[in-house]
Structure 1
Amino acid sequence: MVHRVGYAPGVYDLFHVGHLNILRHARSQCDYLVAGVVSDEMAALAKGHKPVIPLPERLEIVRSVRYVDAAFVETVPDKVETWQQVRFDVIFKGDDWRGTEKGKRLERDFAEVGVEVVYFPYTVHTSSTQLRRALDTLVSPPPGALSAP
């Protein structure tokens, strides 16, 4: 019997050690872990661009991580609406959300339905945003960087 269901939402684009750390830490604090993989459309709304890795591939990667019991495609911006479908007891977020308006709203909304919000240390030295910037630089070097002599 499952006692405590955890939910770890994320885009999980350009999967890296920060993603692995969140999933590992989350699994250590629940009996059953559901990873919420944000759809391409939802990621574009939240971040202003689509992920580099398409949803089916991100879903397969996340499902294959040994700490994850199930993966769920997140298609709505409202986490409480997602909770109504998944029914988790605790949601895990990076501590870059702590104290922000988004984090405070998340805490208020989930307090109403009895879901605990747990923050984990954000992996500052590695992020999909940094990886994406590095890739963009390789693909589109600054003007004059590749100019012929």
Structure 2
Amino acid sequence: MPQGHGQQRVPHLVGYAPGVYDLFHIGHLNILRHARSRCDYLVAGVVSDEMAELAKGRPPVIPLVERLEIVRSIRYVDAAFVETVPDKVTTWQQVRFDILFKGDDWRGTPKGEKLERDFRQVGVEVVYFPYTVHTSSTQLRGALDALATRAEQG
């Protein structure tokens, strides 16, 4: 809404929730739901196939264009952004968010501490949400691999 003369600007917190979002599951949904409750506008960063392969050692099961469409369609997400560089501060320069959301499996790790240090310098808060231990894309992928192996041996 445009602001007229004499009107105060309403605080507008932009949140950013990066992830591969492969084999979309309840843990992904929980992160996005919790993130949206802590900001006014939520951007989901969907990691490119190439970046996901660099980080995880293998490509996602679901291609980027489909992961992007899935994430963009979640009601908690206001916009989706394709992450193509590993440096989150570079991504921040493009998206300009106020809060970065991560799973708490990053808390206290060298990667998490670097993230906090880097973002402290530009005034971005890093907020951790509980990681869904009982469901992960890695576990789902393992189950799919096991089924494929069993079918091949069958």
Shift of 1:38: 0.1
**Could you say which residue in structure 2 is the equivalent of 1:87?**
96
**Could you say which residue in structure 2 is the equivalent of 1:36?**
45
2-side partners of 1:15 and 1:142: how far apart? 24
**Could you say which residue in structure 2 is the equivalent of 1:101?**
110
Shift of 1:140: 1.4
Using structure 1 for the length normalisation, give the TM-score.
0.94
- Please say if 1:45 is aligned against 2:73: no
Residues 27-69 of structure 1: per-residue CA shift (max 9 Å, x gap): 0000000000000000000000000000000000000000000
Ranges in structure 2 where 5+ consecutive residues have no aligned partner: 1-9
- Please say if 1:131 is aligned against 2:140: yes
2-side partners of 1:117 and 1:6: how far apart? 10
C-alpha contact (below 8 Å) 1:2/1:32 kept by paired residues = no
Count of matched residue positions in the alignment of Structure 1 and Structure 2: 145
Q: Runs in 1 of length 4+ with deviation above 6 angstroms? A: none
- Please say if 1:121 is aligned against 2:135: no
Using structure 2 for the length normalisation, give the TM-score.
0.91
Shift of 1:141: 2.8
Ranges in structure 1 where 5+ consecutive residues have no aligned partner: none
1-side partners of 2:84 and 2:11: how far apart? 25
